[in-house]
């Protein structure tokens, strides 16, 4: 698979209007990786855009993209307020854009943004899908994974016969992690090591409850994915791309912090691992066929399969 991070910012872009902090000043002066726009991802194989931040039109035109399909993770403005790009894409192509939306997210998105207008105007062909149930897009199996939150928030698991990837840009602590090995995972950034921050983060700060620390995140994902990319890079951490690179290097070259336009290259599996992966995927497919009518049993069987796979790792 060939995922591309179109936007890597946190809840606010860099540079920000009227702001003269060191990050915004750097972005205005040097551009490049220092500039961050709202969080979004494009998956080439499915011709699918995930999320429409305020800068969605700018992101797509900047990379020469005109996706036929869009899905959303949740209704926060930094993920959905650029939804009108659907109209621009439909007008340019002469056909409606396919919108793929987990059913619980529909009423929230429709209340805050002109979703129903886009459908009524013929710009959007809306497909409501069930949480935690896969659907097929261009040969890619897509599963919207529900977070354990009262507000509807979703991550997306992508699977082909040869690769598996995860996009979970926000609220990561509330996501039940998918079973099985991943080739890549693009997930919400953690709290950087305290010795890398230029300010103190008091013990009572809400971030300690809502985010993994860097050390926790690395341990959670170690052995689960061959590529780990942290996105939703918050301007509030006050760290330049080079400073974030130095933090990532503490974990090894399998970990990176995202930047706008970042293409994620697949890591080759270690020697002997390809056959194990093929066997895992075959058994995964059998479990899903046999227990697809019983999601609870299917998840339990997949959990056992994943546990066995990890225990047998050389």
183: domain CATH number?
Answer: 3.60.15.10
Give the C-alpha separation, 206 to 201, whole Å: 10
Structural domain harbouring 293: 272-314
List the beta strands (DSSP E) in 95-243.
Answer: 97-102, 124-129, 135-137, 140-146, 154-160, 163-168, 184-188, 228-231
| Contact assessment for residue 62 and residue 38, using Cβ atoms and an 8 Å cutoff | no
Do 278 and 251 sit in the same domain of this protein? no
Query: What pLDDT is recorded for position 314?
Result: 61
Do 147 and 282 sit in the same domain of this protein? no
Query: What pLDDT is recorded for position 296?
Result: 83
Give the C-alpha separation, 23 to 191, whole Å: 18
Spans of the chain, pLDDT less than 70: 267-272, 313-314
Do 69 and 37 sit in the same domain of this protein? yes
Query: What pLDDT is recorded for position 271?
Result: 61
Do 156 and 52 sit in the same domain of this protein? yes
Query: What pLDDT is recorded for position 66?
Result: 98
Do 118 and 194 sit in the same domain of this protein? yes
The model's pLDDT over 149-170, given as tens digits with 9 standing for 90+, comes to 999 999 999 999 889 999 999 9
Do 161 and 240 sit in the same domain of this protein? yes
Do 96 and 205 sit in the same domain of this protein? yes
Query: What pLDDT is recorded for position 268?
Result: 62
Query: What pLDDT is recorded for position 22?
Result: 94
Do 311 and 189 sit in the same domain of this protein? no
Query: What pLDDT is recorded for position 79?
Result: 98
Q: Is 123 exposed, middle or buried (0-12, 13-18, 19+ CB in 10 A)?
A: buried
Number of domains in the chain: 2
Of the candidates 267, 284, 299, which is a domain's last residue?
A: 267
Query: What pLDDT is recorded for position 313?
Result: 66
Do 164 and 282 sit in the same domain of this protein? no
Do 109 and 126 sit in the same domain of this protein? yes
Query: What pLDDT is recorded for position 16?
Result: 96
Do 148 and 296 sit in the same domain of this protein? no
Query: What pLDDT is recorded for position 269?
Result: 64
């Amino acid at each position: 698979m060939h995922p591309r991070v179109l936007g890597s910012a946190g809840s606010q872009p860099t540079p920000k209007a009227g702001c003269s902090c060191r990050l915004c000043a750097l972005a205005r002066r040097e551009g490049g990786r220092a500039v961050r726009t709202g969080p979004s991802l494009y998956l080439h194989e499915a011709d699918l855009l995930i999320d429409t931040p305020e800068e969605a039109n700018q992101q797509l035109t900047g990379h020469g993209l005109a996706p036929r399909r869009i899905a959303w993770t949740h209704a926060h403005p930094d993920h959905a307020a650029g939804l009108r790009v659907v109209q621009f894409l439909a007008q340019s192509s002469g056909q409606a854009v396919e919108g793929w939306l987990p059913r619980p997210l529909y009423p929230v998105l429709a209340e805050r943004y002109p979703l129903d207008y886009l459908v009524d105007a013929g710009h959007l062909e809306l497909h409501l899908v069930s949480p935690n149930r896969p659907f097929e897009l261009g040969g890619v199996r897509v599963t919207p994974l529900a977070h354990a939150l009262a507000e509807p928030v979703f991550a997306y698991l992508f699977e082909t016969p040869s690769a598996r990837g995860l996009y979970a840009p926000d609220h990561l602590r509330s996501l039940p992690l998918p079973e099985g090995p991943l080739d890549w995972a693009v997930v919400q950034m953690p709290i950087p090591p305290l010795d890398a921050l230029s300010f103190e983060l008091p013990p009572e700060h809400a971030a300690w409850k809502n985010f993994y620390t860097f050390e926790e995140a690395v341990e959670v994902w170690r052995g689960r994915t061959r590529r780990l990319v942290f996105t939703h890079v918050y301007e509030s951490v006050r760290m330049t791309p080079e400073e974030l690179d130095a933090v990532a290097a503490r974990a090894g070259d399998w970990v990176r912090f995202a930047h706008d336009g970042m293409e994620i290259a697949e890591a080759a599996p270690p020697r002997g691992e390809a056959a194990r992966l093929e066997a895992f995927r075959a058994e995964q497919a059998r479990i899903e066929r046999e227990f697809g009518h019983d999601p609870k049993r299917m998840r339990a069987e997949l959990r056992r399969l994943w546990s066995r796979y990890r225990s047998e790792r050389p």
